[in-house]
Chain A
Amino acid sequence: MNYRWDWSVLIREPFADWLWSGVLLTLAISLLSWAVALTIGIVVGIARSAPSRTARLVAGIYIDVFRSVPPLVQLFLWYFVFPEMVPDSVGLWLKRDLPYPEIVTAVLAIGLFAGARVAEQVRAGIEAVGAPLLPAALATGLRPLQAFRLIALPLGLRAIVGPLTSEFLITIKLSSLSLTIGVLELTAQSRHVENYTFQGFEAFTFATIGYLVIGLCATGLMRLIDNRLGGAALRKATA
């Protein structure tokens, strides 16, 4: 192989600038879609554990659909198909006036997909760790909703912080899909640098280390929270 290594592309302008802006966008998309995923996951996960049959059914359909369709297909559907299916005025607004349409769409699409996975974890946590204490809570005179809100839900959520780490990591990695609709995040910028300089190995090494560092930080953060909440003990108690 006749490759001429040149690590200086990583510090030369404008390439350094491209790569770092890619890191920032990857971080932004990851964190925002994780926030969406957590919100949706908790709401749908609660609905999935609710006494109402309708709520459980709707939540179940959401989880099944969004977990089964490939996230790339979902992204395309939201970006290319959805604006054509809504009333014209809304579609026009989405295409013309929505600020940062690619980024917003990527955040929502990834968040909706990851949210379905989080919801399933929330349901499992409530079922395995929270619900077993419901009879004891009811026996003290708490109403069913109170017992759920004060005991089953907080316990279930505490117990799943550890398992949620891998969902967080998946969400971060999924942010790279957004390059397919034109978001210049880390992977896209690395390709960009390769196209201009033919130094693809250096550029993708940078991307690899970038994802690795972000992933390790995410893992560390989740572990910290899990330790503070005593999640491991909660999971063991019911294992």
Chain B
Amino acid sequence: MIVLDDVHKFYGSQQILRGCSATISLGEVVVVCGPSGSGKSTLIKCINGLVPFERGSITVDGVSVSSPETDLPALRARIGMVFQSFELYPHMTALQNVSLAQVHVLKRSQKEADERSVKILTRVGLGGKLGNRPAELSGGQQQRVSIARALAMNPQAMLFDEPTSALDPEMINEVLEVMQELAVEGMTMIVVTHEMGFAQRVANRVLFMDRGEIVEDTPKDQFFTAPSSERAKQFLNQVLTH
């Protein structure tokens, strides 16, 4: 349902993505990993058009992300995104954070939106925190609100950019559990993460990136037991012995 074809991205003269291609089918969970600066964040931000790219194409459900005719906001509304640093609206309560786009994008009534928000926040274990602002929540709780904000839009796919790397260790699992549930329910997911345990449990495939290239695109088991590239082997040694 998401097809990347030979995507090139430059910042000035610096080339960030060098011909990335991959296909993510409906219901698939793909983990993206690789060293810092390899272009993982850039790649997934290209998928919902937050970052424009110069060459190649990306289609979501057959709709081109870079075509000027595409209604980009409408396309983004169908793809949920979760950021490393939560990016919640600090002046709004958890409930308001989750309801906002439902009202202004999906044109649900406030009441309808709030009902759905309560349901989803409860589902991610935050039924008791509806009226709290982000500053009154722990990192793990904030990230779960952020996931709820994306889920409230009934997305067809979810993008995660290192959703747990800003979290204290004891909060990582509560977020990973929510993500795992989503995966089990069949959500199409692209997850940038260094949580190799999560990848082993949940992923169908692993994309390994280095210096702007997708060096490896392999089924999960093969990635952990017999990675084909030297760079992936080195990387695995580093994160697994960590």
Residues of A at under 8 Å CB distance from B?
133, 135-143, 146, 150-151, 154-155, 158, 229-230, 233-234, 237
Contact = CB atoms under 8 A, between A and B. Distances in A.
Nearest to B105: A141
B91 A230 contact: yes
B90 A155 contact: yes
Interface stretch (B4-12, B74-82, B214-222): B74-82
A231 B140 CA distance: 24
Interface in B89-105: 89-91, 100-101, 104-105
Contact of B91 (A137, A140, A141, A155): A155
A142 B105 contact: yes
- Bin the interface of chain B by size: 20 to 34
A155 B90 CA distance: 8
Given A140-B76, A140-B105, A141-B101, 15 more contacts: A135-B45, A138-B76, A139-B48, A139-B79, A139-B80, A139-B150, A140-B101, A141-B74, A141-B78, A142-B100, A151-B89, A155-B91, A230-B90, A230-B91, A233-B135
A153 to B, nearest CB: 11
Interface string B116-138: 00000000000000000101000
Contacts of B91: 154-155, 158, 229-230, 234
A223 to B, nearest CB: 18
B153 interface: yes
B149 interface: yes
Contacts of B22: none
Interface in B57-98: 73-74, 76-81, 83, 87-91
A155 B76 contact: no
B135 A140 contact: no
Contact of B77 (A141, A150, A151, A229): A141
A26 to B, nearest CB: 34
Contacts, number: 67
Nearest to B101: A140
B239 interface: no
Nearest to B104: A146
Contacts of A233: 90, 135
The residue in B50, B91, B135, B149 that gathers the most chain A C-beta atoms within 10 A of its C-beta is: B91
Contacts of A141: 73-74, 76-78, 101, 105-106, 153
A133 B88 CA distance: 8
10 contacts: A133-B87, A136-B81, A137-B101, A138-B73, A142-B100, A150-B100, A151-B89, A230-B90, A230-B135, A233-B135
A230 B50 CA distance: 29
A135 B79 CA distance: 13
